[in-house]
Amino acid sequence: MNLKTVLTKDTISLHLKGSTKEEIINELLDILVQAGKIQDCPAAFAAVMDREQKMSTGMKHGIAIPHGKSATIKDLVACIGVSDTAVDFDALDHEPCRIFIMTLSPLEKTGPHLQFLAEVSLLFKSAEKRSEILKADSPEAILRILAE
């Protein structure tokens, strides 16, 4: 699994507007719909919210990784959104989040899903990378940061 093979400039948004967890998740799903990555938005929303009810995907350092599995997804898809304002996402460190990485996977495929989550968590342990992503001025800039 490689972030650079899953993400494209069409799956990155720099100015999320939502102020709640549900609004952010819906905006991220809209990115995936617009990019032609998912068709059944209600099923995808249900999958992500089901996962959120088990345990929040708000991590630490202002990052959330909402994710889910759905029978309507054929291959792992992902997107990144950066919010202009911090959003309460029930994070582990109780801090609001500004960087959101969403992934959806097919029900029967666990490997790529776990690899993706592991790669994301490693990547964002770097304070420098997090800072660069927050300062990025284009989707292409975020792709360059991820490639470094």
How would you write the pLDDT of the chain (148 residues) with one tens digit per residue? 567 778 999 999 999 999 999 999 999 999 999 999 999 999 999 999 999 999 999 999 999 999 999 999 999 999 999 999 999 999 999 999 999 999 999 988 878 778 887 888 777 788 999 999 999 999 999 999 888 8
> pLDDT tens, 64-101?
999 999 999 999 999 999 999 999 999 999 999 999 99
Spatial distance between the Cα atoms of 103 and 127, rounded to a whole number of angstroms: 22
Q: Which pLDDT value is given to residue 116?
A: 81
Q: Classify domain 3-147 at the CATH class level.
A: alpha beta
pTM of the entire structure? 0.93
Q: Which pLDDT value is given to residue 2?
A: 65
Q: Which pLDDT value is given to residue 3?
A: 72
Spatial distance between the Cα atoms of 46 and 137, rounded to a whole number of angstroms: 32
Helix runs in the chain, H state only: 3-6, 21-34, 41-54, 111-123, 127-135, 139-147
Q: Where are the domains of the chain?
A: 3-147
Which of 51, 60, 3 lies closest to 25 in space, CA to CA?
51
Q: Report the b/e string of 122-132 with b at 16+ CB within 10 A.
A: ebbeeeeebeb
